[in-house]
C-alpha cells in the first residue's frame, strides 16, 4: 500500500476547516416552512409570469424557486454520477455521494486540490507533458512549483513509470503533493495504462495524491473509467466533466470522485453555493436514464463513427503524416508534413492559420507541445463538418506545400466539374 497519510499530506489549515453551514443544514425545507434565514427575496424572482422554461426534448426548469439559494450539497446529482460510474469493472465496492465533490467545471476541482494540499511558495505538483495546460496555470496562480516528467514518446504517450517513481523518490519529493495525469491525454488522445497508474499510486514512500483527469473518458472503450477505483485507493482523485460527451460545456459542471476524507476537505473549502439550481437541474436530467443519457449515447456513437472516418481518410491526403496519439477521445493528433515529407511546425502553423482565415475551419496548433512536432489537434465534428474539414485541409495543405494547381488550371477543373454535374 502507498505511504499516503492525509493528516500529514493536506495543509493543516484545511484539515482544521469547518465547512460553511446554513440553517437549512439543520432544518430541511419540506415546502411548508417560512424561510426567513438566508436574506432571500420572499416575493420571488424578478421574471415575467412564466413559471418554467419549456424545452423541446429536455427538462422543464422551474423558475419559481430561483429566489432561493441552491442546494449546497447536490445529493441527487451526486447519486446520479455514482450510478453512472459504478460498473464493478474494477472493484466490487459501490460509489456513494460521500465520494464526490461537484464543481464549476473540472477546473474548480483542479484548483481546489492545489489549495487543499499545496502550501504556496513551498510545495509542488508533478505533471507529464504533453498535457492539459490548466494544471500549470493553476499551479502558477497558487504559487506552487512544477515538476515535469514527460510522457513516453509517441505514439504510446504512456507514463514513464521509472522516471515518475524516481522523481517521487528524490530528496525533495516530500514537497510534491499532487501528480496530475490526463487519461485520455490532452492533446494525445491516448488512454493511460491502468497498471502504470497503479504503480504511481503504490509508491512506497511518497505521501501524496494522484489525480487522474478523465474529461474525455466516455469516448474510450466501455468501462475504461477508474472512477470507482477511489473506493480502493485513499490517495486517488478522478476528475470528470459534463462538457465533452454530454455536450454541456455551457453549464460548467465537473466532478471529482475520491475518498470520503478528501471529498470532505474539498467540500469544506468550496463556495457554499457553487452549483446553481439551473445547472444542477440540467445535469440531473442529462444523467438520468429517462432523460439525457440515451441522447448522449446516440451522439457519442455518431462522433465515434466520424472519428473512425477521419482515421481512414486523413492518411489519403498528401502532406498528412502520422497519427501521433490514440483514438480514445473526441479529437485526433496528426502531423503536417513539409515538402520533404518531414513533420514541421512552420507547415503546421501555416495550415492552422490558413484553415481559419481562408476556409473558416478552426483547429488547434499543438506543435510546441513536448513530442508533438508539426501536429494539429482536430476535434471530431458532425458528418457535414468533417466533410468540409477534409476538403479544406487537402486544399490548404496543397497551397502551403506549393503543390496546389495554378489558378487558371483550378478554374478549368471547377468548370469541368460543373459541366459533369
Provide the pLDDT for residue 46: 46
At 341-376, the pLDDT tens digits run: 999 999 999 999 999 999 999 999 999 999 999 999
> Quick check: helix, strand or coil at residue 324?
coil
**Residue 231 predicted with pLDDT over 70:** yes
In terms of domains, do 115 and 262 share one?
yes
In terms of domains, do 269 and 330 share one?
no
Q: 414 pLDDT band (50/70/90 cuts)? A: very low
Provide the pLDDT for residue 419: 41
**Residue 28 predicted with pLDDT over 70:** no
Provide the pLDDT for residue 59: 58
Provide the pLDDT for residue 382: 92
Cα(195)–Cα(190) distance, rounded to whole angstroms?
15
**Cell numbers that stand for 417 in this block:** 466539374
Provide the pLDDT for residue 14: 79
Q: Which of 260, 288, 316 is the last residue of a domain?
A: 288
46 or 252, which is more confident: 252
In terms of domains, do 255 and 322 share one?
no
Q: 183 pLDDT band (50/70/90 cuts)? A: very high
**Cell numbers that stand for 243 in this block:** 462538457
In terms of domains, do 186 and 101 share one?
yes
Residue 42 lies in a domain: no
Alpha helix segments (H runs only) across 287-382: 293-313, 345-359
Q: Residue with C-alpha cell 419540506? A: 30
In terms of domains, do 16 and 120 share one?
yes
148 strand-pairing partners? 127
Q: Which CATH number does the domain housing residue 249 bear?
A: 3.40.640.10
In terms of domains, do 157 and 212 share one?
yes
In terms of domains, do 178 and 231 share one?
yes
Count of CB atoms situated within 10 Å of the CB of 57:
7
Provide the pLDDT for residue 380: 94
Q: Which of 288, 319, 349 is the last residue of a domain?
A: 288
Section 281-287 average pLDDT: 90
Q: Residue with C-alpha cell 459541366? A: 419
Is 375:336 a contact under the CB 8 Å cutoff? Answer: yes
Rounded to the nearest integer, the mean pLDDT of the chain is 87
Domain range enclosing 138: 6-22+69-288
Classify strands 61-62 and 236-241 as parallel, antiparallel or unpaired: unpaired
In terms of domains, do 16 and 152 share one?
yes
* Domain total of the chain: 2
219 — phi, psi (to 5°)?
-95, 0
* Span of 63-67, 171-175, 285-289 with lowest mean pLDDT: 63-67
* Span of 108-117, 168-177, 390-399, 408-417 with lowest mean pLDDT: 408-417
**Residue 108 predicted with pLDDT over 90:** yes
* Span of 26-35, 149-158, 286-295 with lowest mean pLDDT: 26-35
Residue 397 lies in a domain: yes
Q: What is the dihedral of CA 55, 61, 62, 65, to 10 degrees?
A: -150
Residue 251 lies in a domain: yes
Provide the pLDDT for residue 38: 52
Residue 47 lies in a domain: no
Is 151:120 a contact under the CB 8 Å cutoff? Answer: no
Residue 154 lies in a domain: yes
Is 18:25 a contact under the CB 8 Å cutoff? Answer: no
- The percent of residues in the chain predicted with pLDDT above 90, rounded, is 71
Section 178-183 average pLDDT: 98
In terms of domains, do 197 and 332 share one?
no
Provide the pLDDT for residue 290: 83
> Quick check: helix, strand or coil at residue 331?
strand
213 strand-pairing partners? 182, 239
Residue 301 lies in a domain: yes
Those residues with Cβ within 8 angstroms of residue 289's Cβ, 6 or more apart along the chain or in another chain: none
Distance (Å) of CA 305 to CA 299, 361, 379: 10, 20, 13
Provide the pLDDT for residue 3: 81
Section 384-395 average pLDDT: 95
Q: Which of 272, 288, 304 is the last residue of a domain?
A: 288
In terms of domains, do 398 and 306 share one?
yes
Those residues with Cβ within 8 angstroms of residue 226's Cβ, 6 or more apart along the chain or in another chain: 90, 183, 194, 197, 212, 214, 236, 238
Residue 38 lies in a domain: no
* Span of 30-34, 273-277, 402-406 with lowest mean pLDDT: 30-34
- The percent of residues in the chain predicted with pLDDT above 70, rounded, is 86
At 302-324, the pLDDT tens digits run: 999 999 999 999 999 999 999 99
300 strand-pairing partners? none
In terms of domains, do 211 and 234 share one?
yes
Please return the burial class of 124, using the count of CB atoms within 10 Å of its CB with bins 0-12, 13-18 and 19+. Answer: buried
Alpha helix segments (H runs only) across 151-259: 161-167, 194-201
Section 227-233 average pLDDT: 96
In terms of domains, do 205 and 304 share one?
no
At 261-281, the pLDDT tens digits run: 999 999 999 988 999 999 998
Q: Residue with C-alpha cell 485520455? A: 184
At 38-84, the pLDDT tens digits run: 545 545 554 555 555 554 445 556 777 888 889 899 999 999 999 99
Section 250-267 average pLDDT: 95
Q: Which CATH number does the domain housing residue 329 bear?
A: 3.90.1150.10
Cα(127)–Cα(186) distance, rounded to whole angstroms?
12
Provide the pLDDT for residue 416: 43
Residue 87 lies in a domain: yes
Cα(100)–Cα(78) distance, rounded to whole angstroms?
7
Amino acid at each position: 500500500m502507498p505511504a499516503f497519510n492525509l493528516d500529514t499530506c493536506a495543509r493543516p489549515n484545511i484539515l482544521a476547516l469547518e465547512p460553511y453551514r446554513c440553517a437549512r443544514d439543520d432544518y430541511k425545507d419540506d415546502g411548508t416552512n417560512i424561510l426567513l434565514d438566508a436574506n432571500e427575496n420572499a416575493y420571488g424572482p424578478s421574471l415575467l409570469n412564466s413559471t418554467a422554461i419549456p424545452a423541446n426534448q429536455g427538462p422543464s426548469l422551474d423558475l419559481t424557486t430561483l429566489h432561493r439559494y441552491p442546494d449546497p450539497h447536490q445529493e441527487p446529482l451526486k447519486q446520479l454520477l455514482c450510478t453512472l460510474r459504478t460498473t464493478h469493472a474494477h472493484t466490487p465496492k459501490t460509489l456513494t455521494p460521500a465520494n464526490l465533490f461537484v464543481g464549476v467545471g473540472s477546473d474548480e476541482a483542479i484548483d481546489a486540490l492545489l489549495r487543499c494540499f499545496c502550501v504556496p511558495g513551498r510545495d509542488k505538483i508533478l505533471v507529464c507533458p504533453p498535457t492539459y495546460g490548466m494544471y500549470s496555470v493553476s499551479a502558477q496562480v497558487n504559487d506552487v512549483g512544477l515538476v515535469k516528467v514527460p510522457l513516453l514518446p509517441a505514439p504510446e504517450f504512456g507514463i514513464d513509470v521509472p522516471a515518475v517513481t524516481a522523481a517521487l523518490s528524490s530528496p525533495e519529493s516530500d514537497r510534491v503533493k499532487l501528480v496530475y495525469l490526463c487519461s485520455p491525454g490532452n492533446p494525445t488522445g491516448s488512454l493511460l495504462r491502468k497498471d502504470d497508474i497503479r504503480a504511481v499510486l503504490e509508491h512506497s514512500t511518497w505521501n501524496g495524491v494522484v489525480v487522474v483527469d478523465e474529461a474525455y473518458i466516455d469516448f474510450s472503450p466501455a468501462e475504461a473509467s477508474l472512477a470507482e477505483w477511489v473506493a480502493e485507493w485513499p490517495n486517488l482523485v478522478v476528475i470528470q466533466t459534463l462538457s465533452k460527451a454530454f455536450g454541456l460545456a455551457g453549464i460548467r459542471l465537473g466532478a471529482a470522485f475520491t475518498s470520503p476524507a478528501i471529498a470532505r476537505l474539498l467540500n469544506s473549502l468550496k463556495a457554499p453555493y457553487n452549483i446553481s439550481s439551473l445547472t444542477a437541474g440540467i445535469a440531473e436530467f442529462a444523467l438520468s436514464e429517462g432523460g439525457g443519457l440515451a441522447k448522449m449515447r446516440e451522439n457519442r456513437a455518431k462522433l465515434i463513427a466520424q472519428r473512425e472516418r477521419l482515421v481512414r481518410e486523413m492518411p489519403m491526403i498528401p502532406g498528412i503524416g502520422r497519427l501521433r496519439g490514440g483514438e480514445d477521445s473526441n479529437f485526433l493528433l496528426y502531423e503536417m508534413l513539409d515538402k520533404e515529407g518531414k513533420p514541421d511546425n512552420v507547415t503546421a502553423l501555416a495550415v492552422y492559420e490558413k484553415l481559419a482565415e481562408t476556409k473558416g475551419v478552426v483547429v488547434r496548433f499543438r506543435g510546441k507541445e513536448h513530442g508533438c512536432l508539426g501536429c494539429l489537434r482536430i476535434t471530431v465534428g458532425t458528418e457535414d463538418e468533417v466533410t468540409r474539414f477534409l476538403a479544406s485541409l487537402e486544399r490548404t495543405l496543397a497551397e502551403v506545400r506549393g503543390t496546389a494547381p495554378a489558378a487558371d488550371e483550378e478554374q478549368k477543373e471547377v468548370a469541368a466539374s460543373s459541366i459533369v454535374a
